[in-house]
């Protein structure tokens, strides 16, 4: 359809170490749980409020999966660009259809940037001509740990 766009931009922290799985075709996939937070002051009480949203990130590019596995840990701050995708699956226990919405990092229009503080950052992008990460360098990770329970 002309005139449509499916693009997601997020900056957040990993709520757990990345999960690396093997697909049926033998390729690896990385699953990330990303927390984004919003804070504000309550107008009536002056109390600081915060709301955290959890996002499922799925990385299909083999080169990016290797970088995720090597460099990303719980608490790491990252910037991702990807596409929203909702998939349908059947709950084995109840037999009911379930839906999961994920941010997919795959193809030339996706990227993942490790944010290490200051102006340093490493951008890893998928290129149309080659499926290899660009600009890979180790970035010191923040020592902030997220103690939130991940709902998935």
Task: Answer yes or no: is pLDDT of 136 > 60.
Answer: no
How confident is the model at residue 152, as a pLDDT? 44
Full set of structural domains in the chain with CATH: 8-40+48-125 (2.40.50.140)
How far is residue 101's CA from residue 126's CA, in Å, rounded to a whole number? 22
* Alpha carbon 146 to chain centroid, angstroms: 15
Query: What are the tokens at 133?
Result: 């990460």
Instruction: Please compute the mean of the pLDDT values over residues 27-47 and round it to a whole number.
Output: 94
How far is residue 139's CA from residue 122's CA, in Å, rounded to a whole number? 7
Beta strands 8-14 and 111-115: pairing type?
A: unpaired
Identify the band that residue 117 occupies on the pLDDT scale cut at 50, 70 and 90. low
Identify the band that residue 141 occupies on the pLDDT scale cut at 50, 70 and 90. very low
Query: What are the tokens at 40?
Result: 């504000």
> ∠ at Cα 111 (147, 134), nearest 5°?
115
How confident is the model at residue 138, as a pLDDT? 33
């Amino acid at each position: 359809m002309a005139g449509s766009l499916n693009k997601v931009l997020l900056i957040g922290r990993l709520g757990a170490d990345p999960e690396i799985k093997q697909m049926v075709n033998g390729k690896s996939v990385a699953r990330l749980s990303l927390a984004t937070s919003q804070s504000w002051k309550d107008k009536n009480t002056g109390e600081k409020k915060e709301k955290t949203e959890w996002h499922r990130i799925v990385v299909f590019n083999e080169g990016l999966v290797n970088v995720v596995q090597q460099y990303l840990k719980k608490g790491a701050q990252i910037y991702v660009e990807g596409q929203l995708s909702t998939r349908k699956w059947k709950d084995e226990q109840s037999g009911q259809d379930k839906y999961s919405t994920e941010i997919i990092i795959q193809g030339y229009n996706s990227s993942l940037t490790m944010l290490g503080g200051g102006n340093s950052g490493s951008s890893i992008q998928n290129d149309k001509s080659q499926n290899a990460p660009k600009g890979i360098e180790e970035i010191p990770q923040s020592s902030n740990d997220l103690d939130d329970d991940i709902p998935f």
